Structure 1
Amino acid sequence: MQFAFGDYRLDPERRELTLGAQVVTVGPQVFDLLLHLIGNRDRVVSKDELLQAVWGGRIVSESTITSHINAVRKAIGDKGDEQRLVRTIARKGFRFVGEVEQAGEARQPIGSGAPERAASPSTELRSVPLPPDKPAITVLPFQNLSGDPEQEYFADGVVEDIIAALSRIRWLFVIARNSSFAFKGRAVDVKEIGRELGVRYVLEGSVRKSGSKVRITGQLIDAATGTHLWAERFEGLLDDIFELQDRIAESVVGAIAPQLERAEIERAKRKPTESLDAYDYYLRGTAKLHSGTREAIEAALPLFYKAIELDPDFASAYGMAAWCHVWRKVNGWMVDHPQDITEGVRLARLAVELGRDDAVALTRAGHALGHFTGDLDGGIALIDRAVLLNPNLAPAWFLGGFLRAFNGEPASALEHFAHAARLSPLDPEMFRVQLGMSLAHFVAGDFDSAAAWAEKAAGNLPSLLVAAALMAASHALAGRPDEARQAMERLHALDPSMRIAKLRDWLPIHRPDDLARFADGLRLAGLLE
């Protein structure tokens, strides 16, 4: 079923909004908001209903709803003062008032086969990913058949390592872990997954762990046709876990491209550690990181330290521990600031020393060193090496984007954030990309976009201190004192001790003009010296 109004057409199945023959770029939540309003155009839709339908009942700010309504209006050529299509009903909600025709027939592809033009990184991230220029695959969460819910982290860790192994195949485009895991626990048709993530191949399977034995099954499916291309079962002891994962990756690659050189597969193999106990603690710590909350970071850090204790050469564990200290720093959670920074630098340098060919270690350590030492060029170089080692590692792209934004390179930063979003379009950690987009737009002097992206990030993770600061400064510099004051209240609630004098030590902003502009915006918003 499709909806047509004026020259626009809304296709729920393809998740496309088109104007004539052109695709209109909108974000996922903006698309869902428009679809819900059109689907319920016979009545007024309350804000509470929108929160449930679009944000899954999650609490978001009033300004977030307003910004998304404005984005809907902009996408369909409406204006807030005219309200020809989307009307605001005071104290009640919103209603779509345009004339809508419904069509059930399938739509022919747009144009004459010419490739769709990619959206600029400064616009909304696409809701339907562009097809990559190489074979694309997503690895879904494997079922935990161990009979013990506590083993869920182990099954997830197996999948993460299979993703990592596939990601090192340079001609293969691999969707990042967080977007694949958006489908966890959901019964979704593989064709729908293929459309939503823009992939041709889907790998799914199960893990059964019993004592020292483990069994992994996998099946590779062509998402376009639903055809099973390959299926196999792998059994062994826990001591063989990395070999089993390599065999799965090798079999998948062989099924996709039999002509692949054997040497490329061999280069993709790497054991992160010889200690299975260290690996277990590392997986537990990594599982904690994704929510980004203070409690999660405080729980993850000792797990990474335990992994390091069990294997003093575990480079990725050092990198992840260093990055935990970064996240504590930027959110104002450090207890002993000088000591924590010294420890973060120590961990990051060890990660680099031990992990010169470890993309995860180089990514996390490079970002940490950029933050803690101010050596942005050095941090960027480490992350760029990580991208060469693993071009499908989404964190390398968005953390590299952050350092470029801090270094005064907003255009390059925006490209990095857009690429990270393409690698992981359904990432529950999208707040990191959104925060980076805000920072890059701020450095570029686009305060309206900076405020809008900061609102999105804060809506997904309210504890983001940098998002509150960027909102306050951007609104103030854009001449919106009321919004700036509200953002400053949020900033004070998150960190009552924040002052202008702390900015230089808080964020590694390289260019004096960028730092001065940030300080001016916060000063206008009401932050004390």
Structure 2
Amino acid sequence: MHGSEVFRFGLFRLATARRELSLGSAPVTLGSRAFDLLVSLVKRQGRLATKDELMAEVWPGTIVDENNLPAQMAALRKVLAADPDLARCLQTVPGRGYRFVASVEIGTDASFESTAAETLSIVVLPFANLSTDAEQAYFTQGMTETVTTDLSRISGLLVISATTAATFDGKAIDVRQVSCELGVRFVLKGSVQRNDRAVRINAQLIDGRSGVQIWSEIFDGDIADPFALQDRITGRIAISIGREIFVAAARDGEMRNIDPRSWDLVMRGIAADNKPQSLECLQQQEHFFAHAAQLDPKNSIAQAWLARAILLQSAQVHAPASLKQDALTRGAEAAERAVALDPSNARAHLAMSYLYYLRRDFERSLLASERAVAHDRNLAMAYNMLSASLSHLGRGREAVLASETALRLDPGGPQFDVFRTTMGLARLLLGQIDDAMACFSRARQANPKLARAHLGAAIALAARGDVPSAQLAAADLLRLAPEYRLSQTVDACLPDSPPRYRQFYDEVLLPGALSAGVPV
């Protein structure tokens, strides 16, 4: 009945000749009838299979109760739910039959072997409840499920469903065994301990191959608002381990002496972003992402990261004017291509936000950032862009709130300097000079090459009356960008700028720059 093909869909591999179904590298137990049913559906690749056709193929020459068919379908759905992307791949067509709608690749074991390492995958094990109060189990369960959901929003990362992970609850387990059984590379485990109102969450990310812990963090909070605490912590966990996973995978790719494929290059590019922003760093990222997109033109994640790397080059004030214009043109093409490939990709919308911002179309930049957040509520850079656009629209209080969210989600990440600078401009807009100065000082300390932080510091110091210190900050700026002119930057005032921003520019930015000695 079955040929020698091997079918791959999601994390599953179906070897018909050997009658084997595997999830990653781990075999999956499946009854004989369910196996035959799966093969019949998968081979049709989206075409409808009527009930009569399936009964004839799975129970040939046998008279059976037709209720056996839906029972076997239920068993299949339960197995396939281990891969969240396949949770709805078996569709029932009422009164007619069934359809398998997942994307299916056909090949051999050898043909799939070279790409087996490309899929980054993780399982979030049920967090342990260390509290003496058993009623707090609901909070612990909620933590596990919310972290799983947050991680599933990271493009390029496959997350095993919470229902499958729940089968390990309360068991003494070896994470390497879990990794093998589920075919996942990374395992996240943790614990929750409550003492009166105080809650402590301990989370660890473990490499399932070696059993080595590669990241851990302790989070403390107040249980007064458990859902707000849960959201705050799970967002931090998602963004932190998301970065660690891609960096670890990139390191693996560098160690393999092979021609890297598209996903290896994407991961190397993401790892290259794990440092303060500079023209050199962005050009290195562009190299990786452009090569990845060339190898796989349909890789929307590569296109979205490529667009960001290119567009941010045009925002570097010390870059040559010709490079800036070229980067804006090429970045626009990559951003539009990323959105066209996958309208649900949060980073694609983030790239569009950069594009509109650099074109000084702040209303559309704001809308694009909001779309990015709608697709990934933990994308800290999207909140930073929200803040930047809101400031230019004269909405300072909202801008500060957006910056606070970005810093809450990613307080120790490589874009800390950018986040602090964005917040500093928002606080300047509100007249909070000392708070703004604190933001610029921390940004300059984190990244001395960030010209906008020096500009903000110069203006804030001038507004505070400390002209000598303002002139020193301006000198730092001009050492980085000798041709700097405030009127040629995104912070300049436009004829159609909102009245509040125009007032801010005329009363704070322009006088501060002139006093500090910043060319306008």
- The residue number in structure 1 matching 2:268 is 284
Distance 1:391 1:206, change over 3 A: farther
Does 2:472 correspond to 1:498? no
Letter aligned with residue 458 of structure 1: R
d(CA) in 2 for partners of 1:380, 1:347: 19
Name the counterpart of 1:347.
334
Which residue number corresponds to residue 504 of structure 2? 514
AA aligned opposite 2:393: N
Partner of 1:297: 282
Q: Which residue number in structure 2 is paired with residue 415 of structure 1?
A: 401
Aligned to 2:449: 463
Amino acid at match of 2:420: Q
Q: CA deviation at 1:428?
A: 4.2
**Distance change >3 Å, CA 228–CA 328, structure 1 → 2:** closer
Of the three residues 333, 356, 372, the one matched with 1:370 is: 356
Equivalent residue in structure 2 for 1:477, among 452, 463, 483 = 463
Residue 216 of structure 1: how far off its partner (Å): 2.3
Deviations 1:385-440 (A, max 9, x none): 22122212222222222222222211111111111222223334322221111011
Q: Does 1:383 align with 2:369?
A: yes
For residue 326 of structure 2, what is the amino acid of its counterpart? Q
Counterpart contact for 1:398–1:436, Cα < 8 Å: yes
Secondary structure in 2 aligned to 1:224?
A: strand
1:366-392 deviation digits (Å, cap 9, x = unpaired): 332222222211121122122122212
| Amino acid paired to 1:299 | Q
Residues 67-466 of structure 1: pairs in structure 2 closer than 5 A: 158=120, 172=146, 216=185, 218-224=187-193, 277-291=261-275, 292-335=277-320, 336=322, 337-363=324-350, 365-466=351-452
Contact 1:331/1:466, CA 8 A, preserved across alignment: no
Counting matched residue pairs gives 302
Partners in 2 of 1:323 and 1:350 — Cα distance?
12
The secondary structure found in structure 2 opposite 1:386 is helix
The structural deviation recorded for 1:287 is 0.8
Two-structure CA RMSD over aligned residues (Å): 4.2
> What residue identity is the alignment partner of 1:172?
T
Change (3 A) 1:222 1:402: same
Q: Which runs of 5+ in 1 are unaligned?
A: 1-153, 164-168, 178-203, 236-255, 257-275
Q: AA paired with 1:426?
A: G
Aligned partner of residue 185 in structure 2, secondary structure: strand
Q: Taking structure 1 as reference, are residues 205 and 303 closer, same or farther at Cα in structure 2, changes over 3 Å only? A: farther
Structure 1 SS opposite 2:193 = coil
3-state SS in 2 of match to 1:497: coil
What is the CA–CA distance in structure 2 between the aligned matches of 1:504 and 1:219, rounded to whole Å? Answer: 41
Aligned twin of 1:527: 518
How far did 1:281 drift?
1.0
Q: What is the CA–CA distance in structure 2 between the aligned matches of 1:528 and 1:232, rounded to whole Å?
A: 51
Cα distance, 1:231–1:414 mapped onto 2, change above 3 Å: closer
Aligned counterpart, 1:268: none
Deviation readout 1:217-259 (Å, 9 max, x if unpaired): 5252214289999999989xxxxxxxxxxxxxxxxxxxx9xxx
Matches of 1:485 and 1:434 in 2, distance apart? 21
* Corresponding residue SS for 1:427: coil
User: Structure 2: any 5+ residue segments left out of the alignment?
Assistant: 1-115, 125-142, 152-173, 195-199, 210-229, 231-259
Matched-pair contact (CA < 8 Å) for 1:316–1:351 = yes
Distance 1:502 1:521 in 2: 16
Q: Distance in 2 between matches of 1:281 and 1:208?
A: 28
CA offset digits 1:489-508 (Å, max 9, x no partner): 10111101112432358798
- CA drift of 1:333 comes to 4.2
Cα contact 1:345–1:368 (8 A) shared by 2: no
Q: Distance in 2 between matches of 1:488 and 1:397?
A: 28
The residue identity in structure 2 corresponding to 1:441 is: R
Matches within 5 A, 1:38-77: none
Identity of aligned residues (%): 21
Match of 1:144 in 2: none
Work out the CA distance in 2 between the residues paired with 1:478 and 1:387. Answer: 36
Letter in 1 for 2:271: A
Asked if the contact 1:431–1:456 (Cα under 8 Å) also holds between the matched residues in 2, the reply is yes
SS in 2 for 1:369: helix
Q: In structure 2, give the amino acid aligned to 1:347.
A: A
TM-score, normalised to structure 2's length? Answer: 0.51
TM norm structure 1: 0.50
Offset at residue 328 of structure 1 (A): 2.2
1:228–1:349: structure 2 CA closer, same or farther, 3 Å change rule? closer
Residues in 2 aligned to 1:507 and 1:278: alpha-carbon distance in whole angstroms: 42
Cα displacement (A) at 1:342: 1.5
Change in CA separation of 1:296 and 1:156 when aligned onto 2, cut-off 3 Å: farther
Give deviations 1:317-341, integer Å, cap 9, x for gaps.
Answer: 2222222233323332433232222
- In the superposition, relative to structure 1, how do residues 355 and 234 fare at CA in structure 2: closer, same or farther (>3 Å)? same
Q: 1:446 to 1:170 in 2, by over 3 A?
A: farther
Preserved contact between residue 434 and residue 457 of structure 1 (Cα < 8 Å) = yes
Residue identity in the other structure for 2:516 = A
Is the radius of gyration larger for structure 1 or structure 2? 2
SS at 1:172's partner residue? helix
Assess, with a 3 A threshold, how the Cα gap between structure 1 residues 311 and 401 changes in structure 2: closer, same or farther. same
2:191/2:203 contact within 8 Å kept: yes
Local SS of the residue matching 1:392: coil
Larger relative contact order (Cα-Cα within 8 Å, sequence gap ≥ 6): 1
